[in-house]
Structure 1
Amino acid sequence: MDLIIGTWSFCFDAIRQKEELYRSETSCLDAVENTINQIEGDERYGPCIVGRGGPPNSAGYREYDAAIMDGRTLKFGAVTALSGDYNLADHHKMLTGEGAGQFALENGFRAECETPHQSKPVRNFGENDSKSHDTLGLIALRQKGSEIAVGVSTSGAPGKHPGRVGDSALPGGGLYANAHGAACCSGDGDEILKFCPSFHIVHLISQGMVPEEACKEVVQKIYNQNNQLEIALIAADIKGNYGACSTVRSWNDPLTQKHYEGFPYVLWTKDMTCPEIQLAPTVS
């Protein structure tokens, strides 16, 4: 890889642990999937609203949304409202709920599904957690071969209604990639999906705008229309440029308890000996 960029500081350790993979000949698509799968499968990331340890819905069980997209081929796969851990987002276009689980079982995936009567024990999520809207997003770039890929994963807002789907796994909303670049976002999914921000950013990149300026323009337009919405965006282009922007004023990492004045994202490039946590510009 030439570049890896991920939403929120909590993905720092996973990206650092995967450096050997990134320096290998693995594809961008596999690099994104492998890193996201590692975080999804680790219950410690539950407070980040991701994976096995994430919060239950209002019926008491977890439902996951995830997606992945290859910019070079436009190959896209997603699952929404999936009650079980299968890691199959890249094996179909878009599947949801029981249909996604059925497809997984028919194609050799195995996982314990959750229902209101079969849910696993979950940690108690307090008031601060109920305000969380974190989504894990990851972009990988290799300029050789013009490879770029993006993926997202979330267990969704704590206490959401069963079947609720936010923006994360929707192409153009929570993520998008094409031959010019890729983008993904995190925040208030019910509002974000109205704006198709990831597609908008990649479209601006395709017209010649650098990723950070594209992120700023899209966030500013959204903020002008809804100044109460929380949104954080990352993007990269096929030339190796990257950028981010958000409306996040401050954030506490639930794993490290470190406080950030703004939206912290993680950056790794092939020239770095260790990933870096950077702060995105904040629109106000």
Structure 2
Amino acid sequence: MPFLVVGTWTFSREAVATTAHCLQQNLSCTDAVERGINQIEVDEAYGPCVVGVGGFRNSDGYLELDAAMMEGRGLRTQFGAVTALQGVPRAVSVARAVMEKCSHNMLTGSGATKFAKEQGFAVEDNLLTAKSNQTKQSIPGHDTLGILAVDGQNHVCSGVSTSGSGNKHPGRVGDSALPGNGLYADGEAGAACCSGDGDQILMYCPSFRVVLLMKEGKQPQAACEEVINDIRRKCDGQIFEVAIIAVNMKSEYGAASTLDTWTDPLTGQQFAGFPYVVYTDVMSEPEIKLSKTNRKDS
């Protein structure tokens, strides 16, 4: 069965592989994306990637997770998100529950945790305990795990999860879980998601803009590059870290970023540009692709 899975950064490889395996077992793209992201969320080793239970804590020492899912099935679009979620490691699963079982589309803080409990999610006390796992200095890195999938039924799903920037102010929300910013999906066009400096990204709605360009007929690669170029132009030289991946309903993909280099926080390997992971039905395993910085100013 044909499928396409794309993930942000090299550390998404396991999530991409799990998502693809689920699609090969005829699960929906929504089920597949959820399970793929869960693989990373519950593994403390991925904390340096700013994802999941091992992620950096806020300035008060608490772990606050942001996650979202958005799916497109023809004309129907669904979205759900949680922000500043505490105590529940599988944040993207709570976001999906909001999407499917809540009258609202986004819940935050204690309200998100309360909803998770009501839906049967276990709250882990060790994740509710304040601790200092870093100095009070600013911690570099703004990575978000983002997964896009198109399944054999021509449905598309976008999912994201992050622990947010280290030492953030309690309650801080970046771009990741905001529709049109960290992610977007449209069953007539495709999907996109972003990673980078969320406090800057959320002012540009890049995921929505990429999907809109694809809806107008642009290829995913061209759409990503156009949005990055426009952000670069508007920043007037004060460029920030932003990377975008996108897929369309023809199972074509693309990516673009403002990065000259990026270093994998798990392996120390340096890449000249933005590395992302792709897995299609004609591949035997996930492959790392590299998007070089595009400096066109128009």
Identify whether the pair has TM-score above 0.5, normalized to the shorter chain.
yes
Contact preservation (8 Å) 1:68, 1:90: yes
Residue from 98, 101, 110 that aligns with 1:98: 110
Report deviation, 1:18. Answer: 5.0
Give the aligned residue type for 2:94: L
Letter in 1 for 2:11: F
Question: Shift of the alpha carbon at 1:126?
Answer: 9.2
User: Which residue pairs with 1:157 in the alignment?
Assistant: 165
RMSD over aligned Cα, in angstroms?
1.8
The answer to whether the aligner puts 1:63 opposite 2:71 as a matched pair is no
1:145, CA displacement in angstroms?
2.3
Answer yes or no: is the 8 Å Cα contact 1:15–1:35 preserved in 2: yes
- Tell me, yes or no, if structure 1 residue 124 matches structure 2 residue 122: no
> Could you tell me which residue of structure 1 aligns to residue 207 of structure 2?
198
Q: 1:240 to 1:126 in 2, by over 3 A?
A: farther
Matched, 1:213 2:216: no
| Higher deviation after alignment, 205-214 or 221-230 | 221-230
User: Judging changes above 3 Å, is the alpha-carbon distance between structure 1 residues 122 and 268 closer, same or farther for their aligned structure 2 residues?
Assistant: farther
Q: Secondary structure at the match of 1:195?
A: coil
Of 231, 243, 253, the match for 2:264: 253
> 1:177-196 deviations in whole A, cap 9, x for unaligned?
00110000001101110110
Q: CA deviation at 1:88?
A: 0.7
1:273 aligns with 2:279: no
| Aligned amino acid, residue 25 of structure 2 | S
Aligned to 1:172: 180
1:239 CA drift (Å): 0.6
Q: TM-score, normalised by structure 2?
A: 0.89
Q: Normalising to structure 1: TM-score of the pair?
A: 0.94
Distance 1:71 1:32 in 2: 13
Structure 1 residues without counterparts, runs of 5 or longer: none
Instruction: Tell me how far apart the structure 2 counterparts of residues 139 and 18 of structure 1 sit (CA, whole Å).
Output: 9
Corresponding residue to 2:122 among 82, 102, 110: 110
2:247 maps to which of 236, 241, 245 = 236
Q: Report the more deviating stretch, 105-114 or 37-46.
A: 105-114
The structural deviation recorded for 1:51 is 0.2
- Give the 5 Å matches for 1:32-111: 32-72=33-73, 73-85=76-88, 86=90, 87-92=93-98, 93-111=105-123
Q: Structure 1 counterpart of 2:23, which letter?
A: Y
Structure 2: tracts of 5 or more residues without a match: 99-104
Equivalent residue, structure 1, for 2:12: 11
Looking at structure 2, the residues matched to 101 and 137 of structure 1 have their Cα atoms a distance apart, in angstroms, of: 22
* Aligned length, in residue pairs: 280
- In structure 1, distance between residues paired with 2:192 and 2:219: 12
